Amino acid sequence: MANKKKQDSAEQKTGAVSGYIKGAGQIVEEQIPLTLEKNYMPYAVSVNVSRSFPEIDGFKPSHRKLLYTMYKMGLLQGGRTKSANVVGRTMQLNPHGDAAIYETMVRLARGNETLLHPYVDSKGNFGKAYSRDMAYAASRYTEVKLEPICAELFKDIDKETVQFVPNYDNTMQEPTLLPATFPSVLVNANVGIGVAMASAVCSFNLSEICETTIALIRNPDFNALETLKGPDFAGGALMVYDEAELENVYKTGRGSLKFRAKWSYDKSNNCIDVTEIPPTATIEAIIEKIVSLVKLGKIKEVSYIRDLTDRNGLHIAIDLKRGTDPEKLMQKLFRSTPLQDTYACNFNILIDGYPKVMGVYEIINEWVRFRMGCVKRRTEFDLKKKKGRLHLLQGLEKILLDIDKAVSIVRNTENEVDVVPNLMIGFGIDEQQAEYVAEIKLRHLNREYILNRTKDISTLTEEIADLEDVLGSDRRVRNIIVDELKEVSKKYGQPRKTQFVYVEGEENADEEAESVPDYPCRMFLTESGYFKKITPQSLRMSSVQKLKEGDEVALEFDSANSAELLFFTDKATVYKSRASAFDDTKASSLGEYVPAKLSFGEGESLFSLVATTDYKGYLLFVFENGKVAKVPLSAYETKTNRKMLTSAYSDKSKLVSICFTEENSYLLMKSSNGRMLIFSTALMLPKTSRSTIGVAAMTLKAKSVVERAYIIDEETAKKYSKYIVKSIPSAGPFAKDIEDPDQMTL
């Protein structure tokens, strides 16, 4: 018993409690969905709501905390202060470290040139948004203050226009939103990556946004395309105008908009000067891509490229070889480099704490609803103040009736604490009014002073009535918002930086047709996967093909250098290339190894090759199980320059043969048990899906499979007419009179 007491005493001293770690070390089974819901979901929600996405005022929490700190530091007026000072003060609201805070400041700064309307007036090196390698200076070297437009973000913030909450350690208050007097969420670009979702809001011209918002307030059915021409970025560039895609973005909040660089041709130096680039591109990425294409031999017109960017702005110089057409070269560069890039719009914004993808129309409507709340709260604040002031003046007015009586009451009151009660009794006023009267200096207890104060009563009464009318009329609140938008547009509006370029038919044009010479050639494909492209002149010189030991020619056909080649593999994949991408060879060379040139996947082997110049005709996929799929060759045509297409054919059964036919012809099939049939491909309907399993063509007995299949000409089909069937599926007769169908004329 004594030992037990000693043990209990020791546990109390060390803080250990018997049974507190009960079950420690045990492995408890728990379902993965429950674990994700309990642990990962709260984290995901916190990231999306508290860090990644902008709210209706246009800011993420990190932006809002930084700007509000600068506002409280008085940086809206006066001179600049060191950035390190601002970063340190911001940590009272944002505990995520000085580096993250300073990076946020850099993006908001005028010197970085990210925002269309910067919020931070900067001095020093803040890097550049269009350069990946141009680093910004440390915070101890740079200086900042707020831009004048920030006055519109904090206007009337001290009039309870927005809600305030405690900061992370409950030592001060911070706003949940900023009462911006214009739709800042659409005026400056904002990109965020959350958990399982992302946001990308492009920037629009301030004047156009204000005009569009006013128009939508007055007419909800207004077409925004009439005033909101398109995105406007700080870096300028040119937008490839696509009205249908713009309308889709305005309505849904999703879509891809194309931007291309602004350039000019310097004839004296024979070079192209690029001065503006798409908002998603950087100088380094553009130069690296052009250099890479030059090394690969895909661009032969460029002799040198220089980065001439300096304090005056962005400048890339592309030196051309003699005789180069700059217009054609730029079209090629637009197709193959970031000189033309897309901005993927995804207007995902937090509304009342929930992420929501909205179009421009819905965002503006939500902002108007938010701004109406701000105006009403400001009106209520002003109304409360004026009513309080009126109440005091009404008490003072009663003193005017008998000033001597008020003096007498104060003078004849023995105790100071009784002055206010005695004034309340003497003049029939309440405590608040009596306190106000009692605090008036003796020198002000004269008729002139009191008359000057009380003459504001009628004015206050009218103002109060007007404010109450505003609170009761949404129409008047909207008119106030319209007036504020007009003022903002007049004060801070600026001309568009991003202009438009109209492109008709260029996107559907053949990307390389102009630069690819067209001439006839004969193509060879060996069983091992070697490809040769030989001109007729070279074949006349020597027609004996050099092959690897044990290799044989599998395909041989005439085509053109401009043809597109479709290399089908045994993994249901097709690799697309152009004949012009392969060098002209001679019969005495081995040719180019296709799997290496086109970067086949691991374990992937070449099965067959089809060449085309117009994607007309059909492909017949013959499978081991007796089924045949008829697919239009046009199903493999792509508008973009895609190099690989998956699901090129069905992989449900082993592929035996791929046959190409321009129109209906005869297909011969032979099974492993010696049966053979011939049928017209007109009996089959084409399928638009590349991965179709096809239709049954040959009925197979147990354990037998299709071994071979060919396209044969009409003369050969007549010769073996007894094998022709009128309908499919069919087993076909035994091929007894044909020793080897491979020897038939194809």
The tokens for 585 are 């060879």
| Half-sphere exposure at residue 86, Cβ-oriented, CA atoms within 13 angstroms | 36
> Residue 553, SS3?
strand
Beta strands in 573-682, from DSSP E residues, in sequence order = 574-578, 592-593, 606-612, 618-623, 627-632, 644-645, 655-661, 666-671, 676-680
The tokens for 541 are 């010189």
If we measure between CA atoms, which residue out of 270, 265, 272, 268 comes closest to residue 316?
272
Buried b (16+ CB within 10 A) or exposed e, 186-196: bbbbbbbebee
Q: Please state the length of the chain.
A: 746
According to DSSP H, which parts of 343-473 are helical?
360-400, 403-412, 419-427, 431-438, 447-454, 456-471
Residues 564 and 576: their CA atoms lie apart, in Å, by 7
**Strand pairing report for 520-526 and 666-671:** unpaired
Q: Tokens 């491909």: give the residue.
A: 681
| Half-sphere exposure at residue 697, Cβ-oriented, CA atoms within 13 angstroms | 34
Active site residue 141: yes
CA angle in degrees (0–180, nearest 5) for 262-266-269: 140
Catalytic position from the list 43, 141, 304, 354 = 141
Contact predicate 357/346, CB 8 Å: yes
Q: Which distant-in-sequence residues (6+ apart) come within 8 Å of 92 by Cβ? A: 69, 167, 171, 172
Distance, C-alpha 600 to centroid of its chain: 31
CA angle in degrees (0–180, nearest 5) for 254-260-265: 170
Residues 502 and 243: their CA atoms lie apart, in Å, by 10
Q: Tokens 């674990």: give the residue.
A: 35
Contact predicate 684/659, CB 8 Å: no
- Count the neighbouring beta carbons within 10 Å of the beta carbon of residue 45: 15
Contact predicate 320/302, CB 8 Å: yes
The H or E element that residue 302 is part of is strand 302-307
If we measure between CA atoms, which residue out of 142, 140, 136, 139 comes closest to residue 121?
142
> Residue 250, SS3?
helix
Q: Which distant-in-sequence residues (6+ apart) come within 8 Å of 350 by Cβ? A: 49, 53, 54, 55, 56, 356
> Residue 406, SS3?
helix
Which residues belong to the active site?
141
